[in-house]
Structure 1
Amino acid sequence: MGQDSRDDDGVVPHLSPEEFRRLGHRMVDWIADYQARLESFPVRSQVAPGAVAAKLPAHPPEEGLGGERGWEAVFQELEDVVLPGVTHWQSPSFFAYFPANASGPAVLGELLSAGLGVQGMLWSTSPAATELETRVLDWLAELTGLPEDFRSTSARGGGVIQGTASEATLVAMVAARERVRRQGAPVDSEWVVYTSTQAHSSVLKAAMLCGVAHGAEDSAHVRLIETDARYALRADVLERAIREDLAAGRKPFFVCASVGTTSSGAVDPVRAVGEVLERTGVKAAGGWLHIDAAWAGAALVCPEHRGLLEGVEAADSLSFNPHKWLLTNFDCNAFYTRDRRALLDALSVAPEYLRNAASASGAVIDYRDWQVPLGRRFRALKLWFVLRHYGAKGLRAHIREHVRLGQCFESWVREDARFEVCAPRSLPLVCFRLKPLPGARPEDTDARNRALLERVNATGKVFLSHTVLPAVDGQPARYVLRMAIGATTTREPHVRAAWELLARTAD
């Protein structure tokens, strides 16, 4: 063999501990300064497509930064390249979609997770990563008033951190199908999933990934159930659909109830859905009820909002995202089940290279068996820091203030004769629009509201999003604006300024 060709001196330019310390301090200072000047930026990025890429070299660097001093260029590029292309989700005037909270304690937890560099796939690969997560999820279950059998201290339940609510729905669906199979359903059953027309698209995607749905247009295997005047799933229509499928020889096995839909924050009747599964025999055959409370679940830390989960005792799993409205930065989904055995049956694979005495003893949890990927970060640290820093009182104050602000905004909309509220307010989420002008066609009203939204967002002072509410009670489908209050630093002056901008800009 010929001699290796090398054009380097064999030295890898790692940062020394002292260089890392100085750069780390500077980066934390930069982040703190960014937080302090958040309100000086346009909330929605103003750059054109391709503008960020145009500022970056087409080819990777041959030479590295050469140590600490070379990082000056990086900090300058953060200002010149990155920040102009950022939509500032942490701005107190970000009212689009749903919030994606970050907070100081959560960021510190993320930093610590990265610094420790744990890959917590097994208990044995870092006992602290597993046991801290188990305990913190039990704390969160207690804080949100979940039944005891969703906690790790119960005989069959427990919680785990998933990346997103979409992942949680997929895990629940895979577990549901396996449980129904083990109760006698043929492997080649014609499986059917049920959720409302207003449910998140992740339910359909999970069915596609599971092979249940044969594409995004498959309405035979993913039944989207009609909603009522409040945009909540109709239990009577669900029961009719299930009975039709049973009579046709299909296998109903999974229902997803939404607690806080993406469009309007609607809450499905969990108790009534559970009763349908009992009456139709789906529950007895192993069928699964999952609750997707991705956004609204954070409100459960306040006892006055726990009615959102009326009937939760009928559910097999539930998930919500602390990374939406509970001050914990993305990604962090709290997934709970009362049947962890079903997850293990569906997801456990044990190659020789992962076998170890602790796992074989059955005395530990290996969270790799509770999720789709093998590897996992030490995400519990940031949730732990948030719970310890804010405590239950601080978290409740955070939620209650935003709900109050939602009430304020709703009242301002109702007081202006040009506007109307288009759906029942859900916590701090308000769906509203300009009223139709006399004789206007529905598409004309939609166009006026679309133009209003774009004009307001173009100012850079706020960022709101929209949805289309389906036809109901004789009204056609409507394009509406969404005011989703929930950013970490949002206060009443920010909400009032947003309303005043809307009122001034409206024609």
Structure 2
Amino acid sequence: MRTDGPADGSHMSPEEFRRHGHAAIDWIADYWEGLDGLPVLSQVTPGDVRRRLPAEPPEEGESFDALLADLDDIVVPGLTHWQHPRFFAYFPANSSPAAILGDLLSSGIGAQGMIWATSPAVTEVEQVVVDWLAQALGLPDQFRLTDYGQGGGVIQDTASTATFTALLAALHSATSGTARDNGVGSTKWTVYGSSQAHSSLVKATMMAGLGSECVRSVDVDPQTQAMDVSVLERMLADDIDDGFTPLFVQAAVGTTSTGAIDDVQAIAEAIDGVGVWLHVDAAWAGVAAVCPELRDRILGGVHLARSIVTNPHKWLLTTFDCSVLWVQERSALTNALSITPEYLRNLASESGAVVDYRDWHPQLGRRFRSLKLWAVLRTYGLEGLRAHIRQGVELAEHFAGLVRDDERFELVTERSLSLVVFRLVDGDEATLAAMHRLNASGTAYLSHTVVEGRAAMRLAVGSWRTTLEDIDRTWEALQQAL
């Protein structure tokens, strides 16, 4: 029996697959165990990894063991370790053992869930899981699919795709369905988000054919960095007077720069009667609503929004990619995006008794993403998820306290959940130099932003492996970098 790999072009036998599968799981476990000793930020220079790989593919199959060896020798040195306990840059792209096993099962099943008929379980497990998550976060009932019938949720790849999808639904709704057939027409549409809104809002307008010039950047409060709703009201009024038609307002709940949380209730009241679609981008912060004590701050006013997105793959222990979009009226999505060629027609879809998720986003094909979120929800339970979120908040508050107690530093904004934004009082050059030296040391990895014209460092806690010792070790390394 062949044991060294498919050198003859044949497939692995079940026994070989089992052996290599065990080796792959062992490799992941060893990788996790050794992460603390690896530099968080990759130390390679451009082209290092590529130069170590052959320029041509192998003519004959190689052993899977050889691939694992090259992971250690070539790939790992070229990785920035997002699962490292001291990865504090950007926002976490989280994972967990349960999520990885769920994703492995999804890959092994290999089902294509574009319509209900192609694998009913792929659709129906997802329906239940996104409803579970809506309940866990305390979302209003109108966002749920089962028992209510109007709204519902869908797993997208990222919040960027979810924002684009929500914008398409808004355009369909505003044009009574003509946009999908006739384009955006001569109407001068406008789209609104704060100056701190994610860049995906602008990209969504580009992809929708509206053009980036339709986006209005609304000023923020200098202290909180949240949208100044009075400015939004003036911009809406001015645009209407100038012949524009407001289409879409995005409220940010946890901005990338500082974690600022827009006042969704106030925004909804400001646009009342204008007829615009209110979308809530809670990609990072939204999952923190599993904790009842954080819910009002995060989801206050969300019942007035028409769509909301949050990413379990950021802070809720679910392997990338897993972004959940909910809408209050799912027909706005399905009517905007549904196209049914003959080869997709089937009795179940035509009966109207099933959901075909292909109509809920731009892509046709879809993986069994819900398995990994299902695995996380079932193995951790809500109490386990709450404990994880609370730990992140507590560790960030500990770091914020260290900043407050050191006269060389200052907080730029108040801590937002598990995100701390801070700087050296000596100015931009000193702030960025210290951050770059810390990152180059390999001990930890922080990213930066600019707030009100001044540079700042960001420390975002989120890994299930981060401890108080990691926070203190990062602070000590930062002192050494001054």
Indicate the TM-score class for this superposition, using the shorter chain for normalisation.
over 0.9
* Residue identity matched to 2:443: K
| Structure 2 match to 1:282 | 274
CA distance in 1, matches of 2:102, 2:346: 29
Task: Output the amino acid matched with 2:339.
Answer: V
Q: 1:36 aligns with which of 33, 50, 57?
A: 33
Superposed displacement of residue 184, structure 1: 8.7
Q: Distance in 1 between matches of 2:207 and 2:235?
A: 23
2:251 is aligned with 1:257: yes
What is the alpha-carbon distance in structure 2 between the residues aligned to residue 184 and residue 105 of structure 1?
45
1:395 aligns with 2:385: yes
Residue among 62, 76, 98 paired with 1:105: 98
1:66-99 deviations in whole A, cap 9, x for unaligned? xxxx223212101111000011100001010001
Map of 1:473 onto structure 2: none
Shift of 1:11: 6.7
Residue in structure 1 matched with residue 115 of structure 2 by the alignment: 122
Give the alignment's Cα RMSD to 1 decimal.
1.3
Matched-pair contact (CA < 8 Å) for 1:132–1:380: yes
Partner of 1:37: helix, strand, or coil?
Answer: helix
Residue 317 of structure 1 deviates from its aligned partner by: 0.3
- Return the match for 1:350 from 312, 332, 340: 340
* Cα 1:346/1:468, change in 2 over 3 Å: same
Q: Residues 304-453 of structure 1: matches in 2 within 5 Å?
A: 304-307=293-296, 308-436=298-426, 445-453=427-435
Kept in 2, the 8 Å contact 1:124–1:358? The answer is yes
SS in 1 for 2:175: helix
Deviations 1:373-431 (A, max 9, x none): 00000000000000000000000000001101111111110000100000121001010
Letter paired with 2:370? A
Distance of 2:435 and 2:396 partners within structure 1:
19
Gaps of 5+ in 2: 1-6
Asked if residue 148 in structure 1 is aligned to residue 141 in structure 2, the reply is yes
- Taking the aligned partners of 1:50 and 1:12, their CA distance within structure 2 comes to 31
Equivalent residue letter for 1:191 = W
Which structure 1 segments of 5+ residues have no match? 1-9, 437-444, 471-476
Q: Is the 8 A contact 2:9 2:61 kept in 1?
A: no
Question: Which residue in 2 is equivalent to 1:468?
Answer: 450
Q: Is the 8 A contact 1:181 1:187 kept in 2?
A: no
Instruction: Judge conservation of contact 1:327–1:386 (CA < 8 Å) in 2.
Output: yes
Distance 1:212 1:270 in 2: 25
Output the CA distance in 1 between the equivalents of 2:178 and 2:78: 54
- TM-score of the aligned structures, taking structure 1 as reference length: 0.91
Matches within 5 A, 1:229-244: 229-244=223-238
Q: Give the CA deviation at 1:183.
A: 7.9
Partner letter of residue 78 of structure 1? L
The Cα offsets for residues 32-82 of structure 1, whole Å up to 9 and x where unpaired, read as: 1111111111000000000000000111111112xxxx2232121011110
Identity of aligned residues (%): 53
- Alpha-carbon separation, structure 2, partners of 1:379 and 1:130: 10
Q: Is 2:8–2:61's contact at 8 Å kept on the other side of the alignment?
A: no
**Contact 2:435–2:481 (Cα < 8 Å) also in 1:** no
Q: Does residue 303 in structure 1 map to residue 292 in structure 2?
A: yes
- For residues 447 and 256 of structure 2, what CA distance do their matches in structure 1 show? 11
Distance 1:21 1:50 in 2: 35
Instruction: Report whether the alignment pairs 1:270 with 2:264.
Output: yes
How far apart, CA to CA, are the structure 2 residues paired with 1:12 and 1:91?
A: 37
- Is contact 1:166–1:202 with CA below 8 Å preserved after alignment? yes
- Normalised to the residue count of structure 2, the TM-score between the two structures is 0.96
Query: What SS does the corresponding residue of 2:288 show, helix, strand or coil?
Result: helix
Letter in structure 2 aligned against 1:261: T
Partner Cα distance (1:124, 1:416) in 2:
61
Partner AA of 2:422 in structure 1: F
Change (3 A) 1:330 1:184: closer
**Which residue number in structure 2 is paired with residue 87 of structure 1?**
80
Q: Distance in 1 between matches of 2:142 and 2:80?
A: 41
Counterpart of 2:89 (choices 83, 86, 96) is: 96
Task: Report the CA distance shift for 1:16/1:412 in structure 2 as closer, same or farther (over 3 A).
Answer: same
Given residue 282 of structure 1, which amino acid in structure 2 is its aligned partner?
A: V
Offset, 1:277: 1.1
Match of residue 195 from structure 1: 193
Look up the match of 1:440. Answer: none
**Equivalent position of 2:218 in the other structure:** 225
> Is the Cα contact below 8 Å between 2:422 and 2:456 reproduced in 1?
yes
